[in-house]
Structure 1
């Protein structure tokens, strides 16, 4: 590090952004808007894209309409489909990096293993996988919520000798064609991959713990005419606005109107009726329909859309097993009915560790007085002011923190929390501060408000607790979502009182300490 005026050294970077997915990219753009240029995006992967780089399983695609799933500062006017495949989203991330001039800010192929706040110098010390350390005045954590695979803890799984993989770590060197394949899980990922596997395998067995609510998917190729509309800026902005409102209403309406439980219940009943009708149109076998009908209310889990998922289970080579898995054997799986089925490959479409101890964040972070963030959250519950900042963790911000995400497209979330972090950093620069930390009172008030709202939503009042939804964590809290509209999320992250943070300078504190 280079010396500056006085005894305080200059950190390597003003800001380190951890993660080069869309969240990290959005944070980088927000920093450039306020004039910060000395920053770096660090990522364990060799390319940008985050979720859209890691998830390459057959059939992977965005479940938000493509014209909506892009940044306001760089809308994309050419998509292959209304719901674009995952590889196209990864290419979009590359396009944003290039157009926004972020290519030279990347440090890829070596992830973060530890972060420690140096209280004497007001800098973060970031240790990387390659053994090096970088320092920064500020750190922005942009590790996505769907990052750490949740591998099932099933007895004997380590003894299985066939091919086993998690959907987010797809092995493209393995040829599953003509093989006997099992899929564990029936969530959003399984919804996409199961129909694709069924086209190629000899036998497909799906182990379902709980059925999933599914509606039809209005998907189609985006031809020249549709893309021409998106290429006209006024129409494109209109499409993005209307689309975001619609997606937010579809995914988060029940959370936003939590003060009106009767209205919420009526809406859920209407949605359930429509989706049961869709299931009936796809599957005529009453026993199979029964198995594919959820035993929990609509909205307990993130709803999904597909035109091929239900029909796949009517194929002769596809079996749906609803008995619990008891254990693995070296060659297969034994279910609760005592039947053993042998497989060449087992795919774990079992989701991710969301708001779980040791995985959010996926590496230790030490703030003031040696406090570790994961341990703090485990002991005191997951919490963060506007989903961005936590007391006793100065100069640190989150893109997807507890109570940050108002359900809908992730893009408005990224732009909102990035704007929040950039606004605070910009104010600290203006005041000549070297340390900025959210005050306890506004943080506690936000946490109490979100917790109170969350506990009034259908997740806690309509029997969702037993649905195994990732919206409710192991502490019994709804920390994975913000019970509000995305409009509120957008507004509050841009207009919170700047004095909700405390701004101090290391040099001033040194003089005060010396005087005392």
Structure 2
């Protein structure tokens, strides 16, 4: 099959940890003509975009990092966000990735040319470039959601979305409102409550919060990690095992291990009971869905802020925004000077994929997913999309640490491209049959999960897409996922 010339062998969209992981794997394979396109002005993905007060990982740092590039110098068990940003910079330098990166490049679309055997990638500046292979690494949480309450455009005060934080912003003497009580808000709210004159927290859906066992990592321990890498590897294994128990038994095998899920919920309720004095507030903060339907989080400070006289919990529906405040459905008006939007991200409407992608026979990936079912073979490839790898896709997220997902997909890339090299081919496409078989298995495995066997009706969880399917998580244990990504049947692909 004739192939046309290309500008790059590989174009990777996104310079976060996913895109960098893909870049590292391609360089291991000897592919060096790589362009990593990033819409922001620097690398790091979510750890570059987010820098709000209180930002930290909610997975222990020894696990929330590449296993092959450990950082022995984390300052805390749960490192602050700035350290993750520095770690990303270190990885880029250690693996010589910066020279492949282009910043401020917004990709708008890509289409496959079957005759030429290449992708054409179009960017917002009107230019385009071609590549033999296209990789999307745009992240699960990359498209911020901004609510469109009536009157938002009339608000006279400051509006700050957590993904566009104003560094150094002073809440002193101000009447602040935070909309949202997800993982970001849980970190941010205690920080705002320190200085704000009044803080109103608008909660639509309460979140399960468990104690955070966090502490500084002493310098001698850091030195041990640096000198004896096996020590840090052991710490990683222990932490990963604990997370695995929570994910597999509390979420994925809910039907078989319901008492374990109930025990986790009891821990969260006890944590709240010990920290929140007012019974009515505790009732309002208690979720009415099963633990794990919505991603839980860790905090030792979130619940306590609701004991402060300057902090108010509001569970009424927001009716409208007026120039100096917010009006709820019962007519109550709450005066606000600064409105903080901790409203999360739009995953399913605009994030899968993050830009228009047209494959073979004119198949529009976003339309195909939304009109039918969200699906991707092994969470990484799609029928009728040759030479295309989607790192943030349905059924791809494995475990609780994103790095499990990344490293599993790196294994998949290595095996797939190794087979193409052995065959002397340059084109791959997963078969319809293999994709259907994987989708059927993933769907069946999820039947025992909390998403279907539990009660998630009031969770408003981003795990569920607009069809009501929980197609974000890969329903396997971490070790199973890593094994499958490195040993999938090579005959599941067609090569040319």
2:174 maps to 179
Structure 2 unaligned residues grouped into runs of 5+: none
1:437 maps to 429
For 1:27 and 1:162, the matched residues in 2 are separated by 43
For 1:250 and 1:257, the matched residues in 2 are separated by 10
Asked whether the 8 Å contact 1:248–1:409 carries over to 2, the reply is no
- Cα displacement string for residues 69-123 of structure 1 (whole angstroms, at most 9, x for unaligned residues): 1112211000111111111101100000101111211111212111111111110
How far the C-alpha of 1:264 sits from its partner, in A, is: 2.5
SS at match of 1:313: helix
Q: TM-score w.r.t. structure 2 length?
A: 0.97
Shifted more, 41-50 versus 282-291: the winner is 282-291
Q: Does 1:265 align with 2:258?
A: yes
For 1:477 and 1:57, the matched residues in 2 are separated by 32
SS at match of 1:466: coil
For 1:121 and 1:22, the matched residues in 2 are separated by 31
Asked whether the 8 Å contact 2:152–2:322 carries over to 1, the reply is yes
For 1:120 and 1:357, the matched residues in 2 are separated by 31
Change in Cα spacing, 1:153 to 1:451, as seen in structure 2 (3 Å) is: farther
For 2:240 and 2:392, the matched residues in 1 are separated by 18
1:386 maps to 378
Match of 1:132 among 115, 127, 133: 127
Q: Does 1:371 align with 2:368?
A: no
SS at match of 2:147: coil
1:295 maps to 288
Change in Cα spacing, 1:435 to 1:7, as seen in structure 2 (3 Å) is: closer
Q: Does 1:158 align with 2:150?
A: no
1:509 maps to none
Match of 1:254 among 243, 250, 257: 250
**Equivalent runs, 1:178-217 vs 2, <5 Å:** 178-217=173-212
- Cα displacement string for residues 326-368 of structure 1 (whole angstroms, at most 9, x for unaligned residues): 11112211112211112111111111112x1333212100101
SS at match of 1:57: coil
Q: Does 1:325 align with 2:318?
A: yes
Match of 2:460 among 463, 468, 477: 468
Match of 2:232 among 208, 219, 236: 236
User: How many pairs were matched up?
Assistant: 495
For 1:351 and 1:381, the matched residues in 2 are separated by 23
How far the C-alpha of 1:131 sits from its partner, in A, is: 2.4
SS at match of 2:59: coil
Shifted more, 76-85 versus 163-172: the winner is 163-172
How far the C-alpha of 1:422 sits from its partner, in A, is: 3.4
1:316 maps to 309
Structure 1 unaligned residues grouped into runs of 5+: 1-5, 505-516
SS at match of 2:375: coil
For 2:26 and 2:244, the matched residues in 1 are separated by 27
Asked whether the 8 Å contact 2:411–2:482 carries over to 1, the reply is no
Aligned CA-pair RMSD: 1.5
1:358 maps to 350
Asked whether the 8 Å contact 1:252–1:406 carries over to 2, the reply is no
Match of 1:487 among 479, 486, 495: 479
Asked whether the 8 Å contact 2:206–2:287 carries over to 1, the reply is yes
For 1:8 and 1:302, the matched residues in 2 are separated by 45
Match of 2:298 among 287, 301, 305: 305
Asked whether the 8 Å contact 2:251–2:292 carries over to 1, the reply is no
For 2:252 and 2:188, the matched residues in 1 are separated by 31
